[in-house]
């Protein structure tokens, strides 16, 4: 079969690789659509494991079923989680599933930028979900990233009556904006340095947009009757974004750090302000079953406009174009690869 093998952001080769063979408790899934995640172009994170086949936002059809698999059959439309928790360790029992060592070690084989993936038994049992007929394969690529956004807003405890600021209006920021809007958040302010993305933020539900080169905290006060924000969601790893976030959160407010930095990066913490403002700082990584189930429900309802976020679709032969678009963060939002094209 064909797969796009990642060597670095500028070197992605479509190669012939062995089609995976499944075991008795496993599935073989034909990948119809696979989204390029912002994390796929974080070269500092990916290149140390290269060469490898990336792609974890997948939707497809079951092509083969292992002899011991009873819940699924050939031809069913599915979303498959690449990372699944054990549900048994001390972190899972405490509700911190994304800190689970099993979640961080599980994956499908080889990756979603391939014609087929093998779904290991634990992923079959804990991470395979039927896609309703109302959800297209393109929309199915949003299940995982939307699940991450749902988890983040759940952890941040965003409420309808609040004012929320989303710093960084790339795909993650835009999903946060749209989800918060459909969940009834009353006042949404979005920032970015890219006019194309600021226009998209307005289209997907922001009340006010602010160029991040301006005084963001001042703009928040002007848009919020003199107050700072109840919740600030940081969707970019820019150090200036963290600074703006601390400046823009109100007393008793919550700061959700949704984007990771490279491991060597240190973010200055304005401890005095955080202490006396009683700022709550929370983090969110990945998604677990309840978030995935909720994401599928939201996509099925059509209240969340996933297809409106899709700006580009490519076959495997053009995957380099897709990676360039996502890495450049210019005039693109969601880029999807269709391995069967």
Q: Residue 188 maps to which CATH number?
A: 3.40.50.720
Question: Do 45 and 151 sit in the same domain of this protein?
Answer: no
Asked, for residue 290, whether it belongs to a domain, the answer is no
DSSP calls for 90-116: HHHHTT-GGG-HHHHH---BS-SSBSE
Residues 216, 121 within the same domain: no
Copy the structure tokens of residue 282.
Answer: 């929370």
- 86 shares a domain with 57: yes
Distance between CA atoms of residues 143 and 209, nearest Å: 26
Query: Same structural domain for residues 105 and 180?
Result: no
Same domain assignment for residues 138 and 26:
yes
Beta pairing, strands 208-211 & 187-192:
parallel
Conformation bin of residue 102: beta by default, left when phi > 0, alpha when psi is -120 to 50 = alpha
Predicted pLDDT at 99: 94
pLDDT of residue 145: 98
Residue 325 lies in a domain: yes
Write down the pLDDT at residue 341.
87
Same domain membership, residue 8 and residue 131: yes
Q: Evaluate whether residue 301 is within a structural domain.
A: no
292 inside domain: no
**What pLDDT score was predicted for residue 134?**
97
The H-assigned helical ranges of 54-170 are 90-93, 101-105, 121-127, 137-140, 143-156
Mean pLDDT of successive 10-residue stretches along the chain, which has 341 residues: 96 97 98 96 90 97 98 98 96 94 95 98 98 98 98 96 97 98 95 98 98 98 98 96 97 96 91 96 94 98 97 97 94 97 87
Task: Output the six-digit token pair for 286.
Answer: 């990945």
In a domain, 58, yes or no: yes
Domain assignment present for residue 199? The answer is yes
Residues 136 and 11 in one domain: yes
- Containing structural domain, residue 165: 147-283
18 & 136 share domain = yes
Question: Which runs of E-coded beta strand occur in 175-286?
Answer: 187-192, 208-211, 229-234, 249-257, 280-283
The verdict on 277 and 164 lying in the same domain is yes
CB 229 within 8 A of CB 165: yes
Number of domains in the chain: 2
Q: Based on the domain organization, do 154 and 207 belong to the same domain? A: yes
Q: Which of 15, 24, 4 is nearest to 113 (CA)?
A: 4
> Do residue 76 and residue 178 come from a single domain?
no
């Amino acid at each position: 079969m064909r797969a796009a093998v990642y060597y670095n952001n500028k070197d992605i080769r479509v190669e012939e690789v062995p089609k995976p063979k499944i075991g008795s408790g496993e599935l073989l899934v034909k990948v119809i659509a696979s989204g390029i995640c912002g994390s796929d172009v974080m070269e500092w994170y990916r290149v140390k494991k290269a060469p490898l086949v990336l792609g974890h936002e997948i939707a497809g059809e079951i092509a083969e079923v292992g002899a011991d698999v009873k819940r699924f059959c050939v031809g069913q439309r599915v979303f498959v989680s690449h990372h699944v928790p054990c549900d048994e360790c001390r972190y899972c029992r405490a509700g911190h599933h994304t800190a689970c060592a099993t979640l961080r070690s599980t994956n499908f084989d080889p990756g979603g930028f391939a014609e087929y993936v093998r779904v290991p038994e634990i992923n079959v049992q804990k991470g395979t979900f039927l896609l309703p007929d109302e959800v297209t394969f393109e929309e199915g690529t949003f299940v995982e990233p939307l699940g991450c956004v749902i988890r983040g807003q759940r952890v941040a405890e965003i409420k309808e009556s609040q004012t929320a600021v989303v710093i960084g209006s790339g795909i993650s920021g835009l999903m946060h904006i749209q989800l918060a809007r459909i969940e009834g958040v009353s006042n949404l302010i979005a920032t970015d340095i890219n006019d194309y993305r600021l226009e998209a933020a307005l289209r997907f539900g922001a009340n006010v947009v602010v160029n991040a080169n301006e005084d963001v905290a001042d703009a928040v006060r002007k848009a919020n009757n003199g107050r700072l924000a109840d919740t600030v969601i940081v969707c970019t790893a820019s150090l200036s974004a963290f600074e703006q976030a601390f400046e823009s959160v109100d007393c008793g407010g919550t700061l959700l750090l949704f984007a990771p930095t490279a491991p060597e990066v240190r973010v200055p913490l304005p401890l005095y302000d955080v202490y006396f403002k009683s700022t709550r700082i929370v983090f969110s990584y990945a998604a677990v079953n309840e978030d995935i189930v909720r994401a599928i429900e939201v996509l099925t309802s059509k209240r969340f406009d996933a297809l409106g976020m899709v700006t580009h679709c490519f076959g495997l032969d053009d995957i380099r174009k897709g990676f360039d678009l996502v890495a450049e963060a210019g005039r693109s939002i969601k880029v999807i690869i269709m391995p069967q094209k």
